[in-house]
Structures are given as C-alpha cells and as structure tokens.
Chains A and B, each alone.
Chain A
Amino acid sequence: MPPSSNAEFLPGTLYMLVLRSLAGGPLHGYAIAKRIKDCSAEALSVEEGSLYPALNRMLAKGWLAAEWGVSESNRKARFYRLTPAGRNQLQKESREFDRLVRGIQLVMKNA
C-alpha cells in the first residue's frame, strides 16, 4: 500500500522518490530523507514516520537491498541500495509519472 498520509506528496510518489535518490548509490535512511529535501529545494519533506515503513515494504518487494555499514559521521548505519528489480521499477514509475504530469499540464493549459 503506498503511503498517502503525507499531504505534501502526490499519492504514491514516495517509492519513486526513494528509488530515484538511491539511483546514485547506497544511502542510509536519514541521507535519503535529506537528499529528497535538498534536491527539492526543501519543497518536499519526507515524514520519517512513513519513510521507514516504506523502506521496509520496498525491501519486502525486492526493490531494495540493505546492509549495515558505517556512515560519514562514523556511526553504524543501515545502507539501502537499488536491486535490478528496483531499477526497473524506478524506470516504470518515472515514465508513468511523466505521462501523468504531461497530462495534467495539458489540461491546465488547454481546458
């Protein structure tokens, strides 16, 4: 079930954003949240209460893999990385999202 509690997100986009932010390499949970926040110029902020359940669900779906490592601040942290299935999923979701946004834009311009 995609998280929908976060009003700042379009429903169902959290997975896509997480997948995208992991496309560059493994990150731990906090870094994922921060990456989304920074890249969106603070427009999007991931609610922590839904980030970790979502990460677990994505692990269960096989899109992500996780292992323990050491963070830049030298702490023990759990790093998430994309699996091939996750990469496919990212492509699929971003394609559909593009289509959706284009559709909305067309309506907003022409209707």
Chain B
Amino acid sequence: MEWFRKLITRAAGWAAGTDADAEMAEEIRLHQQERAEELQRAGLSAQDAGRQARHEFGGALRAMEDSRSAWHLGWIEDLSTDLRYAARALVHDRTFAVTAMVSLALGIGVNTTIFSLAAEFLFSEPSVRDASTLAAVRLGGNSHADPEEFDYLRETGIFAGVTGYRDGEVNWRHGEISRRLFAFRVDPDFFQLLGVPLHAGRPIEPGDRDVALASHRFWRTALNADPAALNRTLTIDGRPHTLIGILPERHRTVFGFGLSPDLYLPVETERGRLALYVRLRPGVSRPEALERTRAAAKELDRRYPGPHYKRAGRVEVVGLAGLEWLGNRKMVPLATFFAMLLAAVNLVLLIACVNVASLMLARASARTQELAIRASIGAGRGRIVRQLLAESLLLAMVATGAGIALNLLLTGLLNDVALPIPAPIRLQIQPDWRLLIYSVAIALGSAVAAGLLPALQAARFAGPSALLNRGNRQAGSGSRLRSVLVTAQVAVTFLVLATAILFLRNLARSSAINPGFEVDRLVWASMRIVPERYPSGESVAPLVAAALQRLRALPGVEAASAVRVVPFNDQETHGGAIRVDGVEVPISRIHNQVSPGYFHTMGIGMVDGREFQERESGVAVVNEEFARRVFGPANAVGRTIQLFGGRAITITGICRNTKFMTIGEDDKPALYEPYTVADGDRRHKLAWMIRTRTSPAGLVRASEQALLDLDPAAAVEAKPMQSAMGFALLPSQLGAGLMGAMGLLGLTLASIGLYGVLVYGVARRRREIGVRMALGARTTDVLGLVLRDAAWIMGVGMAIGSAASFFVTRPLTMFLVSGLTPADPLSYVSVAAVLALVAMAASLAPSLRAIHVNPTEALRSE
C-alpha cells in the first residue's frame, strides 16, 4: 500500500510537471528565512541571522537527499537504475552485446521450444469441462470395454457418468471421389458428460442419428471454412449425415498426444467396444472410486465370465490431467525421453552461457579502469556486482525475448506440419503460463550463469589499487577463470556429443536392420468400403478375392496377398493364453490373417514346414519367436494349439521373425491364420500387399485404379511400402535428429569458446612471446606455447566429460536397439576425435597470430 502510494504520488508529480527537488529547496529556504527573521527579532544583524539560520539547519543537501529517499521505491527502482545503466554500457559495446545476445537467443529459443513440445505432450489437458474429475477406467488393463461392462458400471452408480468413444475410419463421398476420414464415434452422452466446448452449432445428444461434428481443421480445409456449412449434408459411409456442429480450433481429444479426428459421429446401434471414460462424483476421491470399481470388476467377472483375462486382475482409474496422467505407465518412456531432451538443451544453453561469461570476463578486464573509479568514489563490492549482474540480466532478458519469438516461429511450424506417421497427430502448441514461467526462470538462470562469476571476479579486483597497476594481475586471473570455464564447456560438450553420437549410431544401426521382409519391392494398397453396401462378411469376401485376381493380373506384379495387420501401420496385439496339449501358455502376440502366398509376397523366408494353401482352414504359420516361446527347442510343425474359445489350429510352418512397429523393437511372437473377412466394424477396412518385379512406384496408380474399378464408392489408397514405414524409424530418427542438432550446436558454441580463450591468451602474452622470440625461440616453441594451453583445456575437459558421460548416459539404454550400449568405447573415441579436430581448427588462427608476433613491435608497445 505504501509502495503503491509512493508510486501514485510520484507519477502524479511527474504528470503535473512539478519538480520535487525545487519544492524541497523552496521549503528549506522558507525555513531558514523564518528562522533568520526570528533571530533578527532577537537582536542579531541581518547578516549574522542569515548565517546562524543556515548553520543551525545543517546540511541542506543531505536533508534533501534523505527526503528524496523517503519516496524511493526500493529494489525495483534500484534495478531499473541498474538496468538503465547496463543498457547504456551495452549500447556502448555493441559487438559484445550482439554476439552475446545471439548466442543466448539461439540457446533459449531451442530450449523453450523443446519445453513447449514437452509441455504439449506431457501436460496438456483435454478440451473438456473440469478435467480434474474425469478419468479413464481400465478393466483388466484394457482401455476399451464391452457394452455390458458399460451398462453394469452405469448401474452401480459409482460414477456421475460413464461414457466412451471408438476411433476409426469412415468414407466421405465428395463429388466423384471418396476420402478416408478419421472419426471418433461417441456414446450419445459423451459431449454432455465431458462438456466439450464447440466453435459453432450443437453437440451430439442422445437420440441423434446420422449427425456429424467437424473438426475446425476439416471445416477449414475441406469445407472452405464456410459458415453456411452447418446443417449441410455430408455423405458418410454412404449415408447422408447432417453437420450439426464445428469444434473449436484448439480442440484436444481425451486421448491426448495431439490425436485429431476429422469428425465426431454417434456410435452405431450395434455399439461394440468403446474406450471407457468416467466423470467422478463430487466428493468421491479417486482411490475410493478405484476401490468400488474393483468390486464392480469382480462382480462383472462373476456375471460375465467371458474373457480370457480377469477384469479385476488389473483395475485402473487414471486421471486425465496433471501428475496423475504423467504417472500413468504408458507415459514413462515419453516422459523420460523429454526429460533427456530438456537436460540436453539446458546443457547446450549452459555452453552458450559460458561463452557469454567468457566474453564478459574479457570485457571486465578492459573495464578495470572504469570499475576502479566507481569503487574509489564509494561503490561497494556488492554495488559493483549488482551493476554487472544487471548487464547480464539485461542481456538475458533481451535474448529471452528473441528466444520466445524463435519459439513461436518454431512451434508454429510444428503445429502446421503433419507428422509422417500413420496416425492423425496434430500438435496445438500455444504459448501459455507454463512457457512464461519457464522462460523467466531460464532468463534468470542464464543471467546468473553468464554473469555471476565474471561480476564477482571483476568486483574483486576493482579496488582503488587497480587504478595504479593497470589491472595486470586481474587480467591474469581472469584468463585463468576463462580457461576453467572453457574446460567445463568442453566437458559438457563431450557429454552432449556422446549422447548425440549414441543416437546417430542407433539410427545407423536401425536403418541397417532388415525389417524381415523386402520393403523395396512392395506396394501397400488399402481400401475402405462403405458399410451400407456390404451388410455382412460374406458380401465382402468376393470383393477381396476379385481384388486379388485383378491385382495379380497387373503387368509388373509378381505376387499379391490380402492381409489384416499391415506391418508398421496397424497394431493389433492379442494378450491372453493359448492352450498346448491342455496346458495354458500365456503369450501376447501379433495375430495376423493373410491370404495364401503372403510369405512369398513379402519375401519372408520359411524356416520349417510350409505356407498354408487355398481353402485350408484350422491351420496357421507362426514365427520363430512364437515357436521358441511356446515350444522351446522342440519342433513346432504339425503341433496343434487351442486358441481362446477352444478353436484348434495346426501349425503348418515356421517363418522368420519380422518387425511390426519399430525397427528397434525386440522380436515379437506372431501367428498368421488364413485370411477371413473380419467381423463388425473392421470388415470395412481391407489391405493388400503387392510384390512388384520392378520399381513399386510405377504400380501405385494402376493398383488404385484396379481397386476403384471394383467399387467406385470406396476410398482407395496405394503407396510404395518404403514410404509407408512411418513408425518404423521414427524413434531413432527423432532421437538422432534432435540430439544430433543439439550436439552440433553445442560443438559450435564450445569451439567459439575455445577460440576466444586462445586468441585472448595470445594477445595477453604478446610481450612474453616477443621476448622469447628475441631470445631465439623458434616457431615451434611459440606454437607449443599456444597449443599447450589448448591441449590442457581439451585434455582435462574431455577426461571430465567422458567420466560424466559414462554415468549419465546409462539410463538411455531403453531408447537404443539391442546390442548398442551407452558406454561403448567407439562412441567415446569418435567424440574425442571430433572434439580434437574442432580444437585444432579453433587453435589455428591463434597459433598463426602467435608466430607472426613481431618481437620489436611487441616489446615497444606498453
């Protein structure tokens, strides 16, 4: 309050143009005049009275100064004075200011961008009303639940509401073409229970049929942002749907991770399995709800003993926001990955700060005189430190401003690109309070990291004596500190580089890994048919067969096969046990269905036995991993296993292992059955693999046309398998790309740091070098002088760096393909080699400068 009154009073005085000092002087003059008059009345002469009055008053200036300080606004005002002075000092030394700001701004821009990315993935909340009382419920570890499970949970009344959605694809008939769209099908009460905000129109309500909500992006790009699009009819899966609403631009689904459906539709009458979400009752805590859900799961197990797992075996109630969401088991690798990235960007920023610190040290030694004068007219050590810190603070603030601009640019780009993966992921990074707080912390941290040591150092030597000895001692000590800083820089760079090289080697190794099939000669063709036209599985089967016939007949096609689970694009893992000779064997597996000839088409070799033939049923091919896990060393061919539900199948052959989701993954067990048309919703999605004789690119159009000829209403898409490997290398590419970029940035910054120290060392020792040369030192001796410095810095820095890397990179094993260990000597040797090369490059110019020192000139100067 007092502070505020001071501010208002001063602002008012400033606005009214009153001069507080003049007023004060006026007041003091009045005081002295009155006193003098009184003294005169007591008998003194006018002159004596005046003198006496002034004498009694004492130091008028001091009184004014003290009065002024009564209106002082405290540290804020000190800070603004310091900053004003710092600004003047920086403008004065523009080269320094620009260099420092650019390196800090780069560091901070990249740093905050990674932060924004991490915050988007880890902390963003879904667009719903009160996310804190929403939760995803998992029964038996499953995210999806059956209709009877929904009904029972609703019946128990544990929750204020139970709802769900299912994601999938639909066809949108637009003019003459069909487009495949990604849609969420939701329970009728989904929007009401979650409270999803809309941009326009109304949400889906109970009783709605054949209605659709469009995403903002779909409305913008496909419907031309037409405001009249509401109530328009969209032909979706062959049926007219009324567009009743448009979602806001920033809509985040409850699923998270930027998954963005084009449409929201109501679930069909036949509901099927839906992802299970609940709204907690007010006053019911999550642990309480979990307890009651467990009991409900037990009851479900008793009532519907259907599934091959116990629902009560693993019941989870996972919050959708905050730490609870982070603690969710699926988030751990992602959180670790971002933690590593953030650590790396902060190390890079630290390297940049050290460069700035090094520049400030050099500057401080040039400013010894100025600082000494300030010290000798009464600036305390604290005052000088504060002043110098204000300079680094100002630098860091301006750099953070520029860094945030860079952040907005980069995140804008990230928001606009569609990631090259077979899932509609769209980021919606927005600057928010988290970014603000983080940036302020980063700015302050950088200011301290870059400014504190130089400021302390400068203040230490800014005694009045510095005026006399012209700061030689200080320069010596400053250069020692700079060497220490650069050594630290080298150590940190080693660590960042070691990590980067690890990821690059990981990428190289993953790229070399064969996915287990011949990617180069494959075309993947897919078709999504309109459900209305194919009421049952039987009606789809002829289409699949006809398509195979047509595809095989295309010129240049060697073989073709229908497939249910396309590697690297679909993921379908089945848990649960199978029975072998009456014994239950738990095994989680890829459960695929393929038409005969699949293994030949894909180029997957058979290890034992044979592929199944046309019209064979009750047979399967398993991969080596499956055979190894289930049968051990015994021969699997000819054995019979029982699947869930008692279906018995005989193994006709064993094929080689292949990769399914990422190249770096461990081999997964897989089971291939003869192709049958899927039931329910999934029967609308068909896929074929085509093996070509020549380059696959030429067959893309022909394959699409062949499929369109069969059903012009279907959404058809074909692409070379090579470009449909989206997820395959993504983790390795992402890791290698990001860490490689950071390693490069760190390396550049550190080499600038080393260069600076060496150049500065040569300049400082010019006289010494001159003397040595005058006394007969050869070029090699002088070179040795410079290179010895460089060698010391590099040697010590690398020793510390490699020790640190050894411990720090250990937890990274989880991101690497098997067989690659973080503490790999080859990584360390290559980092050391790169650093040594860069060090040599950085010492080239300083060395040349040293051997070209002219002894006579060097001795004459100073």
Using a CB–CB cutoff of 8 Å, the interface residues on chain A facing chain B are 28-30, 33-34, 47-53, 55-57, 59-62, 71, 73, 75-78
Contacts and interface: CB of A to CB of B under 8 A. Distances in A.
Contacts of B33: 73, 75
B27 interface: yes
Nearest to B31: A30
Contacts of B5: 60-62
A51 B67 CA distance: 9
21 contacts: A28-B30, A29-B30, A29-B31, A30-B31, A48-B56, A48-B63, A49-B57, A49-B58, A49-B59, A49-B66, A50-B66, A51-B63, A52-B63, A53-B67, A60-B9, A60-B70, A62-B1, A62-B5, A73-B34, A76-B30, A78-B30
Interface string B33-75: 1110110000000000000000011110011101111110000
B581 interface: no
Contacts of B57: 48-49
Given A30-B31, A49-B57, A60 B67 contact: no
B37 A73 contact: yes
B59 A78 contact: no
Nearest to B70: A56
A75 B6 contact: no
B2 A60 contact: yes
A51 B60 CA distance: 11
B28 interface: yes
A48 B60 CA distance: 9
Interface string B330-347: 000000000000000000
A34 to B, nearest CB: 8
Interface string B16-32: 00000001101110110
Greatest chain B CB density within 10 A among A53, A55, A62, A71 is at: A53
A44 to B, nearest CB: 15
Given A29-B31, A30-B34, A62-B5, A52 B23 contact: no
Contacts of A50: 63, 66
Greatest chain A CB density within 10 A among B2, B5, B63, B69 is at: B63
A63 to B, nearest CB: 10
Interface residues of B, number: 30
B20 to A, nearest CB: 9
Given A49-B63, A55-B67, A60-B6, 18 more contacts: A28-B27, A28-B30, A29-B27, A48-B28, A48-B57, A48-B63, A49-B58, A52-B24, A52-B27, A52-B64, A53-B66, A60-B2, A60-B5, A60-B9, A60-B71, A75-B30, A75-B34, A76-B30
B2 A62 contact: yes
A47 B71 CA distance: 20
Nearest to A53: B66
A74 B27 CA distance: 14
Contacts of B2: 60-62
Contact of A56 (B26, B30, B71): B71
A56 B63 CA distance: 11
B30 A48 contact: no
B74 to A, nearest CB: 11
Interface string B797-835: 000000000000000000000000000000000000000
Contacts of A56: 67-68, 70-71
Contacts of A71: 30, 34
Contacts of B9: 59-60
A47 B62 CA distance: 12
B65 to A, nearest CB: 8
Top-4 shortest CB links A-B: A53-B66, A56-B70, A57-B70, A56-B67
B71 to A, nearest CB: 6
B61 to A, nearest CB: 10
A39 to B, nearest CB: 16
Contacts of B66: 49-50, 52-53
B6 A76 contact: no
A59 B67 CA distance: 10
B28 A52 contact: yes
Contacts of A75: 30, 33-34
A47 B58 contact: yes
A77 B30 CA distance: 7
A48 B30 CA distance: 12
Contacts of B34: 30, 71, 73, 75
Contacts of B24: 52
Contacts of A78: 23, 26-27, 30
A59 to B, nearest CB: 7
Contact of B26 (A49, A59, A62, A76): A76
Nearest to A72: B34
A51 B59 CA distance: 12
Contacts of A59: 9, 70
Contacts of B70: 53, 56-57, 59-60
A71 B27 CA distance: 11
Greatest chain A CB density within 10 A among B23, B34, B64 is at: B34
A42 to B, nearest CB: 13
Contacts of B62: 49
Contacts of A53: 63, 66-67, 69-70
A62 B70 CA distance: 12
A48 B31 contact: yes
A80 to B, nearest CB: 10
A30 B35 contact: yes
A77 B27 contact: yes
Nearest to B68: A56
Contacts of B63: 48-53
A85 B35 CA distance: 31
Contacts of A52: 24, 27-28, 63-64, 66-67
A2 to B, nearest CB: 12
A59 B34 CA distance: 23
A29 B38 CA distance: 15
A48 B139 CA distance: 83
B5 to A, nearest CB: 6
A97 B597 CA distance: 105
Greatest chain B CB density within 10 A among A47, A52, A59 is at: A52
Nearest to B3: A60
Nearest to B61: A49
Nearest to B38: A34
Contacts of B26: 76, 78
B37 A48 contact: no
Nearest to B18: A68
A100 to B, nearest CB: 25
A74 B37 CA distance: 13
Nearest to B29: A75
A23 to B, nearest CB: 21
A47 B66 CA distance: 13
Contacts of B23: 78
A53 B60 CA distance: 11
A59 B27 CA distance: 15
Contacts of B58: 47-49
B31 to A, nearest CB: 4
A105 to B, nearest CB: 33
Contacts of A77: 27, 30
A100 B564 CA distance: 94
A56 B13 CA distance: 14
A51 B35 CA distance: 15
Contacts of B67: 52-53, 55-56
Contacts of B69: 53
Contact of A30 (B6, B30, B59): B30
A111 B329 CA distance: 75
